[in-house]
Every structure is written in C-alpha cells, then in structure tokens.
Amino acid sequence: MAWQGLAAEFLQVPAVTRAYTSACVLTTAAVQLDLLSPFQLYFNPHLVFRKFQVWRLITSFLFFGPLGFSFFFNMLFVFRYCRLLEEGSFRGRTADFVFMFLFGGVLMTLLGLLGSLFFPGQALMAMLVYVWSRRSPRVNVNFFGPLTFQAPFLPWALLGFSLLLGNSILVDLLGITVGHIYYFLEDVFPNQPGGKRLLLTPHFLKLLLDAREEDPNYLPLPEEQPGPRLPPPQQ
C-alpha cells in the first residue's frame, strides 16, 4: 500500500532528520488535539531558570504554529535541508551534526533573550538552509516554479518570502546570523593563516553517535551529485 511505501522510505531518512521532523510533527499534532498547549512549550527565561521548566529549551524549537500553510512550508524546508546536510557534508559525522544543532540552539536562545523570541524553530530552519547554501554554492535551486538561482541566494529569498507573507523577518535574520557564525567558525576561520578549528565536538558525542563504517550501498541525493553520471566501464 502507498502508506507502507512512504513509511519504508521515511525509515531510510538519516536519523537526526527523522528524529527532529518527527518531533516537530508530533508536537504540533499534540497541540491540535489539545493534549498540549503552546503556553507549555514556549521559551520563557523565568520559567526555565526560576521554575526549572528546562524542557522549554527543547520544546520551543519543536512548535512551528498551528496546522496551515506556514507549518507545512517550514516542515518542507526543515526536512529537505536537514536531510541534505546530514547526507552531504555531515555524512558519517552524526556527532558533528548534532553538535551544530546544539551550538545553533544555544546561540539562538541567548540572542533570542534580547528580542523575546518565544519559538525559535523557524530561526533554526533558516540556519540549516544558510549552512547548506554556503556549502553548496554551485547548486541551482528552483524556488516555487520559474524562479531559479544559485544556492547562496536561497536564505535571502526565504527572508523576502517571509516579508511578503507579512511575517517578521527578525527570526529569519537571527537564523542567518547564527548560520553565518557557524559557517565562519567551522569552514572559513580554520583555513585562514593562523586559524584553527574552534568548534570541537565533544568526544562522548562521537563515541555515542558516529558509526564506525559507512554504508557501501549509500546513494546520495541528486543535489549532492555534482556533474552528470558516467556510464559504467565496459567489461
């Protein structure tokens, strides 16, 4: 049946992408069914640090609003670009990928204190898109049909789209800013004269998450396959 095929395909999605998108969908479903209230999920420094409701540090990144166009739009981009990163530049480096999430989440939480950001999930999505776009500068992106451009312009296209929808662009700017900080510290500064890698993934994460061997049957997504495929050599 169709749903069985979709379920089997979803199980082949990398673990971090599958876990994060599933948590977002389940959280939204729980709110829609009145099992949870957004007031139990949002980030509130007083409730976190005075009332010890520490789960808000995580749940605030899982709720993208009620079911609707905005929710499905965000989920589409979260799933797609989280997967592209995990299967691309973070392939075989699950610990580093999780550490990127932790780094981005902590920095967004600290910066969000300045602007009373209650649900920074959209900023995390913007960060994922930004990091992928900077690591895939030659990839052409098709944005809602006829509009095609190179990947580094995608975060700004999303920001403009948010502006057209009447949403605040501050959340997108926060995600782009955090994404650029991560990209600079991870990809730019270590390659400068006298530079070094400052973001070091904790060893326990590597022991816990990194696989010892890569899957020999792995087939990357088309976006991660630069250039045409060559025919197999003749025997």
Cβ pair 135, 88 in contact under 8 A: yes
Examine the pLDDT at 111 and tell me if it is beyond 80: yes
| Nearest residue to 226 via CA among 156, 140, 157 | 140
| C-alpha–C-alpha distance, residues 97 and 223, integer Å | 19
Q: Please state the pTM of the whole predicted model.
A: 0.85
Percent of the chain with pLDDT over 90: 63
Q: Is the dihedral of CA 55, 77, 15, 88 positive or negative?
A: negative
pLDDT at 25: 95
Q: What is the mean pLDDT of residues 32-37?
A: 94
pLDDT-derived band at 112, boundaries 50, 70, 90: confident
Please give the DSSP secondary-structure letter assigned to residue 148. Answer: E
Number of neighbours of residue 184 by Cβ within 10 angstroms: 14
Q: What is the mean pLDDT of residues 55-77?
A: 92
Half-sphere exposure for 112 (CA within 13 Å, toward CB):
25
pLDDT at 235: 44
Domains of the chain, by residue range, sit at 12-203
Number of neighbours of residue 117 by Cβ within 10 angstroms: 20
pLDDT tens-digit series, residues 174-233 = 999 999 999 999 999 999 998 888 999 999 999 999 866 555 566 666 655 555 544 544
pLDDT at 216: 59
* Three-class DSSP category at 223: helix
Q: What is the mean pLDDT of residues 71-92?
A: 93
Read off φ and ψ for residue 88, nearest 5 degrees. -105, -100
Q: Class for domain 12-203, per CATH? A: mainly alpha
